[in-house]
Structure 1
């Protein structure tokens, strides 16, 4: 099995949708983050898949990461739960399973808050308000879970750039090219501060 140094679990946000790649379907923040951390692409395991839910991560993606045991793991998942078949108890249980399972390894695990995606969607106001209630509840559950498991948590809801339309693709669900770049940049600085790592990208910039 390859010695992966960075693994990413989750949905199409992790897959890279919204950031087309000439050499494949998508690029995204994962390879951008790896590059800034000095990790070659052969050392990256990106398991992100379109329409993946927290249940998909538990059933299909988590076992692969537990087997490969990379030193750094990113998890971004849950939006598909919130916008489709939302079950609060299942959502809470799955987040607990994901982050508590990763906690048992000697690795750095990071995630991010759910941004105000409902703001971007062309949906009736009643449904938008319902989605916002779900996203607020989901962020509360996520914060509790990451606090209990020692997971690094980037609160994008407190970062003004994520409220700007240019950070989002036309569908409103996925980051734009600029959004993926911003997320990679923010994660690089966030992980570096939290772990004491000095990524090559920051050495160059400095």
Structure 2
């Protein structure tokens, strides 16, 4: 399935290349540039026996579209996990706007892993899609990131958030939206194969998260309500509520 998606995305990219370049430049020029979330990169949801949560990734982890990290993916995820487990959550963020899987591994991972973690969540794929990385290369980079994180942290559970469906991003015009949607789906399918590794879980971004009403002003990132819905879904998976699932921690 991932091979056919990758082939379709490649054909579409090649056939529409001149148009896509022009549209991409226009989107870059006209889309509002929102900052990352402000405030501390660490926090605590009070409760007994705190679980140490580390979230790695791109602009969604950087909290673009939210004012603070409490209103972005990590803060909502920490709150949702605390509700489900009935324990505290000590969270920290290692995200960078514009980062891909390779740069997160090369430039953010070492600093992020200086402290222990009980659960690692990884949210990547949009920048790898925009940069036209192949599904195979994305899988290699994502695998290397997971392996290096666990080499330092030990056999910590890893939850891979799927690649957001760019085919539903309001900021993208057609046919750019179609082509990036196809390319993102190919990368997402490649990421899903890593769930065969012990201790690694994958969960796709739910379609309801990309409701246009839940996007930030740039039409490219979630707003606080979108982040909350996404976090609730990830928390359900971490807690073991997927069909036949079990808690990750």
TM-score band, normalised by shorter chain: 0.7 to 0.9
Give the corresponding residue for 2:224: 177
In 1, Cα distance between the equivalents of 2:218 and 2:207? 20
Residue 247 of structure 2, aligned match among 184, 195, 200 = 195
**TM-score (normalised: structure 1):** 0.78
Tell me the equivalent position of 2:201: 152
- Structure 1 contact 169–175 (Cα < 8 Å) conserved: yes
TM-superposed CA distance for 1:124, in Å, is: 4.2
Instruction: Tell me if structure 2 keeps the 8 A contact 1:5–1:44.
Output: yes
Alpha-carbon distance in 2 for matches of 1:113, 1:90: 16
| Residues in 2 aligned to 1:12 and 1:155: alpha-carbon distance in whole angstroms | 17
Q: Give the structure with higher Rg (CA).
A: 2
CA offsets 1:129-173 (integer angstroms, 9 cap, x no match) = 2212211110111011232354122223xx442242122223222
Aligned length: 189
Q: Which runs of 5+ in 2 are unaligned?
A: 1-41, 43-49, 241-245
Is it true that 1:62 corresponds to 2:106 in the alignment? no
Instruction: Give 4+ residue runs of structure 1 displaced > 6 Å after superposition.
Output: none
Query: 2:58 and 2:248 mapped to 1: Cα distance?
Result: 28
Structure 1 unmatched runs, 5+: 198-206
The alignment partner of 2:60 has SS state of helix
Corresponding residue to 1:75 among 110, 122, 133: 122
Root-mean-square deviation (CA, aligned residues, Å) is 2.6
What is aligned with 2:72?
28
- Cα deviation 1:33-75 (Å, max 9, x = unaligned): 22332435xx322011111111111102222344423111110
The separation in 2 between residues aligned to 1:122 and 1:78, in whole angstroms, is 17
Which of 165, 169, 178 in structure 2 is aligned with 1:129? 178
Q: Identify the match of residue 96 of structure 1 among 140, 143, 167.
A: 143
